[in-house]
Amino acid sequence: MEIDVFDMIVGIFGGLALFLYGMKVMSDGLQKVAGEKMRSVLSVMTSNRLAGVGTGFAVTSVIQSSSATTVMLVGFVNAGLLTLNQSIGVIMGANIGTTATAWLVSLFGFKVKISLMALPAIAIGFIPKFTGQKKLAEWGDVLIGFGILFIGLGFMKDAVSVLKNAPEVELWIANYCTANTLLSRFIPLLIGMLFTFVVQSSSAAMAVTMTMAAQGVIDIPTACALALGQNIGTTITANLAAIGTSAAAKQAAMAHFLFNFLGSIWPIVFFMPFLSLIDIIYPVASSIDFATIQKISDPEKLAAATKAAAFPITVHLAIFHSLFNIVNTLLFLPFTNQLAWLSTKLVASGSQKEETHLRFIDPKVIESPPMALHAARAELKSMLQEVEEMFKQVLYLVSHPNDKKGKVAKDILKREKRVDMLEKEILEYLVSVTQLELSMDQSHEVGGIQQCVSDVERMGDHCESLLYLAQKRYEKKLPISEEAMKDILEIGHEVESFITMLVNHIFDASGNLMKQSITYEDNINRLRKHIRKGHIKRLNAQTCTVQQGLIFIDMLTSFEKMGDHAFNVAEVFAGER
C-alpha cells in the first residue's frame, strides 16, 4: 500500500500541536479554577518527605503538567522558599502525577469514540463565554482544552494508522527500534528522550507512544522503552528554567534529572521481568496478536478488532508508566539527602545569580498566576519587614538622638532606598502578571497587592521623615520633655505592633485580622487626640517652645499616617478592599 508521506506528517504533527495546545488550555483553566487551593497546598509542602511527594502528585495531577510543577519548584528554590532537600520529594510526586495524563488518554482516548466526547466538550465549554460569568468561563476553558486535546489525539491516531501498512516502516522498526535485548532498548530510550526534548512535554510524547502501540506500529516492549526515555527527556524543561538562577535552583533541576535518569536504569536492566509483572497485573494486552488482526480482510471487522485491541494496550502502558514511577519514589525516598548531596557535587554552589532587590520573584514562573501572586506576596512581606526594621531604628533615634557616627541613620536611609526599589520592581512585575489569563479573584488580588505596595512605600517615606525630624531636634538642641517623649514612644510602639501583626498575617488573613486592625487603628487615633491635648497644655504652660512643638506635631502626624497606611494594607489582606 502506497503511503502519502505529506498527509501522514501533517496528521501526526498537526495532531500533536492540537494535543499540546489543548493540554495548555486545559492546564491554564485548571490553574485558574484551583489557583488558591494550589497555592495553599504549595505553601505547606515542606513539612516532611511524604508531604512533598503528596504535594507534587496532587499539583501535577491537577494542572496536568510535571514540567509546570518542576519549573515552579525551581522558582521556589531560587527564591529561598524551599531547600534542595525539600524540593526532591515534590519532584518525586510530580513524576507520579504526570502519569495521570496517560490514564486520561488510555481510558477516554481509545475506549470512547473521540467525536462523541471532544466536540460536545468544546461546545459545552464555549457556552459560558456568553454568560459573562468568569468562574463558569474558567471551567469552560477546561472543557475546551479537554476537547481540543482529544481532537489532536484523533488526528494522530488516523495518521499513525497508515504506518502499520508500510513495509519499509515495519522493517526499520524491526531492525532498529525494538526492545528485545539489553542493548537494543537504548535506541527507543534515546528516541523517546530526544522527542521529549523537542516537544518539552512527556505527556504529549507518551500520547504519541500510546497511539503508535494502539495501532500496532510498535510493540509493547518498545513503547515501554520509549516511555523510559521520555521520563528522562522531561527534565530538560526544569534545567532550561534554571539557567541564570541561583546555584540552589540549578541543583534542584539537577536532582530532577538524576532522579529520572537513575530511576530508568533498573527498569532497563530488569526490563522483561518487570513487563512480566505488568502482564500478571493486567494480562489482557499480552494475548493480543496484531499480525493476526491485520490479516482480517473485512474493513469493518478490521477497524473493530483494532479498536478492541487498542484499549487494553494503552491501559497496559499506563500501568507500566505509573508503576515504575511509584517504585522509583519508594526506592529513592529514603535517599533524598544523598541525592541532594550528589546534586551539590555536580553543580558548584559558587555560581550564584546576580544580586537583585527582589528575593522571591522569578520571571520564569510568571506563567503560573498562583505562583506569580505567591511570589509577589512574599516580596511584599519582605518590603514590610524592611519598614518594620526601619521603624524600630527610628524609635531608637527618637529616644537616643545622639547617633554620633550616623550608623543608624545610614542604615535607615539604605533600607528606605531598598523599599523604593522594591516598590518599582514589584509593580513592574505585577504589570506583567496582569497580561496573563487571570481569574476574577486573581485580578482582584493583583490590584490589592499593588495598593499594598504603594502604602508600604509611603510608610517607608514617613520613617525617613521621622529620621530627619529626630536629626533636626538633635542638631538644633531642642529637647523634648519627659512627658512628651513618653507620649511619642507610646503611640510609636502601637504603630510598631500594628506593622508586626501585618507581617505575621500576610499569608494567613485569619478572621480576626480586621478586628485586631480596627483595635490598633482606634488606639492610634485615641492616642493622637490624647497626645494633642497634652501638647496644647504644655504650649499654654510654656514648657514647650514653638520650634519644639512643630517637630513634635510633625512626628505625631507621621505616626498617625503610618497607622492609616497599615490599616489600608490590613483591609486588602482581609479582602475588604
For 41-45, 345-349, 387-391, which range has the lowest pLDDT when averaged over its residues? 41-45
- pLDDT for the residue 164: 54
Are residues 403 and 334 located together in one domain of the fold? no
User: Per the domain annotation, does 356 fall within a domain?
Assistant: no
Distance between CA atoms of 145 and 22, rounded to whole angstroms? 4
- pLDDT for the residue 353: 44
User: Per the domain annotation, does 176 fall within a domain?
Assistant: yes
pLDDT tops 60 at residue 356:
no
Last residue of a domain, one of 314, 346, 378: 346
pLDDT tops 60 at residue 320:
yes
User: Per the domain annotation, does 355 fall within a domain?
Assistant: no
Q: How many CA atoms lie within 13 A of 267 on its CB side?
A: 32
Are residues 85 and 167 located together in one domain of the fold? yes
For 56-60, 223-227, 252-256, which range has the lowest pLDDT when averaged over its residues? 56-60
Last residue of a domain, one of 295, 313, 346: 346
- pLDDT for the residue 409: 87
Distance between CA atoms of 133 and 136, rounded to whole angstroms? 6
Distance between CA atoms of 353 and 358, rounded to whole angstroms? 12
Are residues 385 and 281 located together in one domain of the fold? no
Q: How far is CA 286 from each of CA 282, 289, 324, 439, rounded to the nearest angstrom?
A: 8, 8, 18, 47
Q: Which residues contact 121 (CB under 8 A, 6 or more apart)?
A: 143, 144, 146, 147, 150
- pLDDT for the residue 1: 44
Residue 288 structural domain: 5-346
User: Per the domain annotation, does 177 fall within a domain?
Assistant: yes
CATH value at residue 467:
1.20.58.220
Distance between CA atoms of 143 and 118, rounded to whole angstroms? 9
List pLDDT tens digits, range 89-131: 888 888 888 888 778 777 776 555 656 677 888 888 888 877 7
List pLDDT tens digits, range 524-550: 999 999 888 888 888 787 777 777 778
Are residues 449 and 332 located together in one domain of the fold? no
Are residues 412 and 324 located together in one domain of the fold? no
Please, are residues 302 and 293 in contact by the beta-carbon 8 Å criterion? yes
User: Per the domain annotation, does 352 fall within a domain?
Assistant: no
Tell me how many degrees the CA angle 101-361-377 measures, rounded to the nearest 5: 95
Please, are residues 472 and 432 in contact by the beta-carbon 8 Å criterion? no
For 11-25, 124-138, 223-237, 293-307, which range has the lowest pLDDT when averaged over its residues? 293-307
* Runs of H (alpha helix) within 162-281: 167-176, 186-199, 202-214, 220-233, 236-241, 247-262, 265-269, 271-281
Please, are residues 316 and 107 in contact by the beta-carbon 8 Å criterion? no
- pLDDT for the residue 521: 93
pLDDT tops 60 at residue 288:
no
Are residues 370 and 430 located together in one domain of the fold? yes
- pLDDT for the residue 99: 84
Mean pLDDT across 310-337? 87
Last residue of a domain, one of 285, 316, 346: 346
User: Per the domain annotation, does 310 fall within a domain?
Assistant: yes
Are residues 432 and 329 located together in one domain of the fold? no
Are residues 308 and 170 located together in one domain of the fold? yes
Are residues 338 and 393 located together in one domain of the fold? no
pTM to 2 decimal places = 0.58
List pLDDT tens digits, range 360-391: 776 555 666 777 887 888 889 989 999 999 99
For 110-119, 240-249, 291-300, which range has the lowest pLDDT when averaged over its residues? 291-300
Torsion-angle region of 216 (φ positive above 0: left; ψ -120 to 50: alpha; else: beta): left
| SS3 per residue for 32-66 | HHCHHHHHHHHHCCCCCHHHHHHHHHHHHHHHCCH
pLDDT tops 80 at residue 317:
yes
Distance between CA atoms of 227 and 23, rounded to whole angstroms? 19
Are residues 279 and 140 located together in one domain of the fold? yes
User: Per the domain annotation, does 360 fall within a domain?
Assistant: no
Mean pLDDT across 470-495? 84
> Three-class SS of residue 270?
coil
Start-to-end CA distance of the chain, whole Å, equals: 69
**18-21 contacts: CB < 8 A, separation 24 or more?**
18/148, 18/149, 18/151, 18/152, 18/155, 19/149, 19/152, 19/153, 19/156, 19/204, 19/207, 20/152, 20/199, 20/201, 20/204, 21/148, 21/152
Are residues 251 and 393 located together in one domain of the fold? no
Grid look-up 554620633 returns 404
User: Per the domain annotation, does 358 fall within a domain?
Assistant: no
Return the C-alpha cell found at 151: 481532537
Q: How many domains does the chain have?
A: 2
Are residues 292 and 387 located together in one domain of the fold? no
Grid look-up 469493518 returns 300
